[in-house]
Amino acid sequence: MTVAEFGKAVKNLKGKRTPLTIKQKREARWGFFFLSPWMIGFLLFYLLPMIASFAFSLTKFNPAVPDETVYIGFTNWIRAIFRDKEVLLSFTRTIHFAAISLPVGLIFALFLAILLNSENVIGKTIYRTLFYMPSMIPLVATVLIWNGVLNEHTGWINILIERFTGIQATGTDGIRWLADPQLVYYAYTMFGLWGVGNAMIIFLAAVQGVPTELYEAAEIDGASWFRRLFSITLPLITPVIFYQLVLGVIGSLQYFLAPFVLNQGTGFPEGKTRFYMVYFYKQSFSFFNMGYGATLAWLMFIVALIITIFLFGTAKYWVYYATEEK
Closest to 192 in 3D by CA, of 240, 254, 265, 270: 254
Peptide bond into 269 cis (omega under 30): yes
Contacting other proteins (CB under 8 A), which of 135, 198, 231, 254? 254
**SS3 for 217-286, per residue?**
HHHHCCCCHHHHHHHHHHHHCHHHHHHHHHHHHHHHHCCCHHHHHHHCCCCCCCCCCCCHHHHHHHHHHH
x-marked contacts with other proteins along 132-171 as a string, rule CB under 8 A: ------x-xx--x------xxxx----------------x
Instruction: Tell whether residue 74 is a contact of other proteins (CB under 8 A).
Output: no
User: Mutual orientation of helices 48-56 and 290-318 as an angle, nearest 10°?
Assistant: 120
Nearer to other proteins, 27 or 270 (CB): 270
Instruction: Tell whether residue 267 is a contact of other proteins (CB under 8 A).
Output: yes
Contacts of 144 (CB under 8 A, 6+ apart): 261
Contact 256, 215 (CB under 8 A): no
What is the widest separation between alpha-carbon atoms in the chain?
82
- Residue 70's DSSP bridge partners are 60
Nearer to other proteins, 26 or 153 (CB): 153
x-marked contacts with other proteins along 34-63 as a string, rule CB under 8 A: --------x---x--xx--x------x-xx
Nearer to other proteins, 173 or 213 (CB): 173
Nearer to other proteins, 42 or 230 (CB): 42
**For binding to other proteins (CB under 8 A), which residues are involved?**
42, 46, 49-50, 53, 60, 62-68, 72, 75, 79, 83, 138, 140-141, 144, 151-154, 171-173, 176, 179, 246, 250, 253-254, 256-257, 260-261, 264, 266-271, 277, 280-282, 285-290, 294, 297, 300-301, 304-305, 308-309, 312
